[in-house]
Amino acid sequence: MRSAEWGRRGAGMSLVIFVLTSGLAACSSSDAPSGGTSADASGGTYTIWDPYPQFDGTSEWVKLLTKCGTDAGVSVTRTGYDTSDLTNKALLAAQQGNSPDVLIVDNPVVSTLAEAGVLSTTEEAKIDTSAIDPNLLAAGQSGGKTYGIPIGANTLALYYNKAVLKEADVDIATVKDWASLTAALDKVKDAGKKGITFSAIGTEEGSFQFLPWFWGSGANLTQLDSPQAVSALALWTDWLKKGYAPNSVINNTQTTSWQEFATGDYAFAENGTWQLANAKEAGFEYGIIPIPAADGATAPAPTGGEFVSVPVQKDPGRYAVSQKLVSCLTSADNSLTTTTTLSYIAPTAEVQAKQVAATADLKVWVEAVKAAKGRTSDDLGTKYPKISQPMWTGVQSALSGSKTPQEAFAEAQKAASAATN
């Protein structure tokens, strides 16, 4: 929120580091941890970096890492970093030639690391991706090559308050497309209740929440000013004008949006898998439906989640053990434990079926993940952030009333074209 060939390793490295650290505290070479440097590639110590600093040595996650190392005949040294910190350290470690043996990173970062030459391809690392759902695997692909394997995925859907809908005489089964959802919001407002809350903040969170509606219109990120794209922005804008959504969405994060829904006053909330535990503690009956596309299909929502990847090593002999570690972490036997621990939907149909069998509430999330799409898919790669920022800026302009949806996205497209060409 992945690798390039050996000969491309230096190309673009300085630029990528500059881009990623321009808004962050820079890491000097002295504070970049060392990666795998064991002389004996078939034994010794292998390093794994992940973005889960919340887990300590007593957690199921770290126990699994240790077990995978033992099964592979090596010791594992694991370090957990915050996501942004991890990306910077991975880039610097690669520049210094001391990358970790296994790197787990947020899926939108894959293309950045791939372009910088940090990671090996799954073909080079001999990682089997055949069982992975193609739409999830696509988030780790760039230039026709695959740079890792998803450990799991989350995405967005619509939570709804059953009591509010009942009071407004709305049958959730009738909510199948944009027209029927808007009609439901109208009935909710007439009943004196609040309609829908979401996050439209001027950050990547805002883009993340807008994308299901954008893609659900049939729009493509390479043309922000298409009629379909404008229709998606007009949908949100009209909801605010008619009082179906509060003006607070302009500044809402996904957390503050959820807090609004948790008051019990709203009929709907767009939010993610990660709110399931909070939903169960909300104190009212709730349900979940996939976000509808304009025509009634399930809208592609963006995928969240991490990829397990193998960084480029000075000694290619280390890849054999790295492959064993990755295979262990993503195997069907371990995936159920891993995705439960990390609150993700599994990336394979086999394990998804097990998740639904164990927890029926996950069925709608499995459906949503199957329809989901990576933000860097369609071979956008590192162009995505340069498109996302003009997009969320356009959304803000339209929702605030300073520009019409057409004007906002015409300007957004000009900015995106200038940044990506």
Residue 260: what pLDDT?
Answer: 98
Q: Can you identify the CATH homologous superfamily of domain 156-301+380-420?
A: Periplasmic binding protein-like II (3.40.190.10)
Q: Which of 287, 279, 238 has the alpha carbon at shortest distance from 399? A: 238
Mean pLDDT confidence for 365-382: 93
Instruction: Give φ, ψ of 86 to 5 degrees.
Output: -60, -45
The residues facing 50 across adjacent strands are 80
In terms of pLDDT, which residue wins out, 6 or 76? 76
- DSSP E strand boundaries for 95-206: 102-106, 141-142, 145-146, 149-150, 156-161, 194-197
The residues facing 368 across adjacent strands are none
DSSP 329-367: HHSHHHHHHHHHHHT-B-SSHHHHHHHHHH-GGGHHHHH
Residue 139: what pLDDT?
Answer: 93
Instruction: Let me know how long the chain is.
Output: 421
Q: Which pLDDT band holds residue 341 (cuts at 50, 70, 90)?
A: confident
Q: Which of 259, 241, 243 has the alpha carbon at shortest distance from 251? A: 259
Q: Are residues 257 and 194 in contact, defined by beta-carbon separation less than 8 angstroms?
A: no
End-to-end Cα separation, the chain, in angstroms? 23
Q: Which segments of 36-131 does DSSP mark as H helices, in order?
A: 60-71, 83-96, 110-115, 122-125
User: What is the distance of C-alpha 391 from the center of its chain?
Assistant: 17
Domains 6-152+305-363 and 156-301+380-420 share a fold: yes
Quick: pLDDT tens for 133-173: 999 999 999 889 999 999 999 999 999 999 999 999 999 99
CA 216 – CA 44 distance, rounded (Å) = 50
Residue 380: what pLDDT?
Answer: 92
As a whole-number percent, the residues of the chain with pLDDT over 70 amount to 90
Domain boundaries, the chain: 6-152+305-363, 156-301+380-420
DSSP 27: P
Q: Can you identify the CATH homologous superfamily of domain 6-152+305-363?
A: Periplasmic binding protein-like II (3.40.190.10)
Tokens encoding 53: 């600093």
Q: Are residues 207 and 384 in contact, defined by beta-carbon separation less than 8 angstroms?
A: no
Residue 361: what pLDDT?
Answer: 86
What residues contact residue 22 under an 8 Å CB cut-off, 6+ apart? none
Contacts for 24-28 with beta carbons within 8 Å, 24 or more apart? 24/84, 24/85, 24/88, 26/88, 27/85, 27/88, 27/89, 27/92
